[in-house]
Amino acid sequence: MKVKKVLSMMLAGACVLGMLSGCGNKDDGGQQAGGTVENPEEISAELTLWDASWNENITPGLIEKFNEKYPNIKVNVEFFPSDGMSDKYLTALTSGNSADLLSVNNEWVSTFAVAKGILNLDEYIKANDYDMSDFYDGAREGVTVNGSVYALPYRAETHGMFYNVDLFKDAGYKELPDTWEEFVPIAQEITKRSNGEIKGIAIPGGEWGNTSYQLTNMILCSGGSILNEDHTECMLDSEEAIRAAQLFVDLYRKYNVVPESIMENDNAAGRTLFGEGKVAAFMSGAYDISAIQGIDPDLNMGTGLVPVFEGAERNTIFAGWSTVISAKTKNPDAAWLLAEFLASPEISVEYSTTFSARKSMADAEKYANDPLLINLSEAIQYGEPLPVIPQLSQIRQIMYEQIQLALSGEITAEEAMIEATAQINEIL
């Protein structure tokens, strides 16, 4: 029987291959290449950089500048859309199909490092006396996994509050208040004056990333945090965190100052509502300024810091982007040079679509002349990264699911936070 023969051969083949892949993967332990790069100008290599699609008009110019300095290092750039980017990068890094360098969101660094997909940069930093102190604390902490640095940051941002100056003025307020306690009556007044046509603030409740982000930001503003210092225990059932979650829910359910569409809204929806003048405020980053101006160029908007809770210290989520080097790159030295170049002060200002990850660049010309930007950049120094652990996205999913239940009124905010704490402790 021919068929049976073929079948059994196939089966044998499958077994062999299964074994091959079973044994063949042992070589990808976290290698620590590196040291001083000697005669960097003479290194010749070909590198590939994977970059985000929104940098498509920026990166080629930077590569030209890089080549003025290092003419023998050829750099190819591939651009990826945000959809599925982290999945693609993780799979490619772990299976050895990735580029030499990747531009990544700081949130992914811990996962990539744990998966042994990216290069530990400690050796390079030590050998080259590379100064990390100019990076914001939030940036540095965000790329440090188990005490080792895995990426060089270039971009930094936090959320600020955008507000509609005209609507605030009509309601009798000149500027953003410092605290949430002062903010609530303003939002109520604006909502009341328009008979509910215009709401006080847009909050996203329909997309896990945006919702968990803003909830966390509020928890930070109240002095709480998701996890304790050493990431062993969830702190969402603390008084501070519950106070913040309560307000997050109350803005919608009790004070009625949030659009009815909250449960379907992501942050882009909030931006649209704000741009159309249907809400008086929303929280977002500098990247949204041009988008809002695209909706209504004449909108009289202002920016400022996100309010804090009375008596709490200012704290906010630090977010950013960095360059990592694949653990499997054949040219780690050249890759280090490029990563270093992209993280250098002037270049990082150009490279970042928001702010530079460097303190020394805080009042770079690009930001200083724009009042909208400079107000937002003020918050960066208060930023701390989300917990640098691989379970982060699971944690955020849990927070999202629980706060959604609270927003829909099925459980209270307190119950939601207690349940989330229980679930998060389970996966830690």
Partner 1 sequence: MPALLVVAVVMLFPLLYNISLSFFEKTIYNPDWTFVGLEQYQKLLTSKTFLNALKNTVVWTFFSVLFQFFIGFICALVLSQERVKFRGIWRCLIMLPWVLPAIIGSMVWKWMYHSDFGILNEILVRVGIIDSALPWTGSRDLALISAIIVNTWKMFPLVLMYIEASLQSVPRSLQDAAVVDGANGWECFKVVTWPHIAPTCKTVVLLLTIWTLNAFTFIYVLTGGGPGTSSQVLSMFINKEAFTNYNFGNAATASTILFIIVAIFSTIYIRSTMGGEEK
Partner 2 sequence: MIRNKKTEAVKTVLTYVFLTVMVVISVFPIVWMLDSSLKGSSEIYSSPPTFTIHEVTMENYVRVLFDSGIPRAFLNSVIVSVTATLTTLTLGCLAGYGFSRYRFKGRRMLYVGLLYGQMMPAVVLIIPVYLVFSKIGLIDSYFSLILPDVAITVPLATLMLKSFFDGVPVELEDAARIDGASKLGILWKIIIPIAKPGLVSVAIYTFLSTWEEFIFALNLTNSSSIRTLPIAINMFKGEFIIDWGAIMSSGAVISLPVILLFVLCNKAFVKGLSEGGVKG
What residues line the site for partner 1 (CB under 8 A)? Answer: 6-7, 10-11, 13-15, 17-18, 21-22, 25-26, 28, 84, 86-88, 90-91, 94, 111, 114-116, 206-208, 261, 263-266, 269, 272-273, 390, 397, 400-401, 404
Interacting residues of 135 by C-beta distance below 8 A, sequence separation 6+: 153, 357, 358, 359
CB-based contact 374:229 (threshold 8 Å)? no
- 83 touches partner 2 (CB under 8 A): yes
Q: Which is nearer to partner 1, 26 or 174 (CB)?
A: 26
Structure tokens at 192: 């009341």
Cβ 21 to partner 2 shortest distance, Å: 6
Cβ 174 to partner 2 shortest distance, Å: 29
Q: Which is nearer to partner 1, 63 or 269 (CB)?
A: 269
Among 79, 185, 263, 350, binds partner 2 (CB under 8 A): 79
Q: Could you say which of partner 1, partner 2, none residue 82 binds, taking C-beta under 5 to 8 angstroms by partner kind?
A: partner 2
Cβ 387 to partner 2 shortest distance, Å: 22
- 78 touches partner 2 (CB under 8 A): yes
94 SS3 class: helix
Taking each helix axis from N to C end, the angle separating 413-427 and 392-407, rounded to the nearest 10 degrees, works out to: 160
Among 60, 61, 71, 81, binds partner 2 (CB under 8 A): 81
Cβ 209 to partner 2 shortest distance, Å: 11
- CB count, 10 Å around CB of 4? 8
**End-to-end alpha-carbon separation of the chain, Å?**
55
Interacting residues of 31 by C-beta distance below 8 A, sequence separation 6+: 119, 327
Cβ 294 to partner 2 shortest distance, Å: 6
Looking at residues 24 to 63 of the shown chain, list those that interact with partner 2 (rule: CB under 8 A). Answer: 24, 50, 52-54
Q: Which is nearer to partner 2, 72 or 97 (CB)?
A: 97
- 363 touches partner 2 (CB under 8 A): no
Q: Which is nearer to partner 1, 115 or 165 (CB)?
A: 115
Alpha-carbon distance of 257 to 254, in angstroms, equals 8
Query: Among 260, 282, 256, 280, which Cα is nearest to 271's?
Result: 282
Q: Which is nearer to partner 2, 275 or 332 (CB)?
A: 275
Q: Which is nearer to partner 2, 99 or 176 (CB)?
A: 99
Cβ 405 to partner 1 shortest distance, Å: 10
Q: Which is nearer to partner 2, 156 or 417 (CB)?
A: 156
Cβ 329 to partner 2 shortest distance, Å: 15
Alpha-carbon distance of 332 to 340, in angstroms, equals 12
Q: Which is nearer to partner 1, 182 or 276 (CB)?
A: 276
Q: Which is nearer to partner 1, 27 or 42 (CB)?
A: 27
Query: Among 105, 70, 21, 18, which Cα is nearest to 333's?
Result: 70
Among 1, 147, 195, 298, binds partner 2 (CB under 8 A): 1
Alpha-carbon distance of 334 to 326, in angstroms, equals 12
Query: Over the range 234-264, which residues count as b (16 or more CB within 10 Å of their CB) and which as e?
Result: bbbbbebbbbbbbbbbebbbebbbbbeebee
Q: Could you say which of partner 1, partner 2, none residue 401 binds, taking C-beta under 5 to 8 angstroms by partner kind?
A: partner 1
Interacting residues of 296 by C-beta distance below 8 A, sequence separation 6+: 275, 276, 277
Q: DSSP letter string over 289-347?
A: HHHHHHH-TT--EEEEPPPB-TTPPP-EEEEEEEEEEBTT-S-HHHHHHHHHHHHSHHH
- 10 touches partner 2 (CB under 8 A): no
Number of residues that bind partner 2 (CB under 8 A): 36
Burial class, 87, CB count within 10 angstroms (exposed 0-12 / middle 13-18 / buried 19+): exposed
Structure tokens at 381: 């120094």
Q: Which residues bind partner 2 (CB under 8 A)?
A: 1-3, 17, 20-21, 24, 50, 52-54, 78-79, 81-84, 88, 91-92, 95-99, 267-268, 271-272, 276, 287-288, 291, 294-295, 353
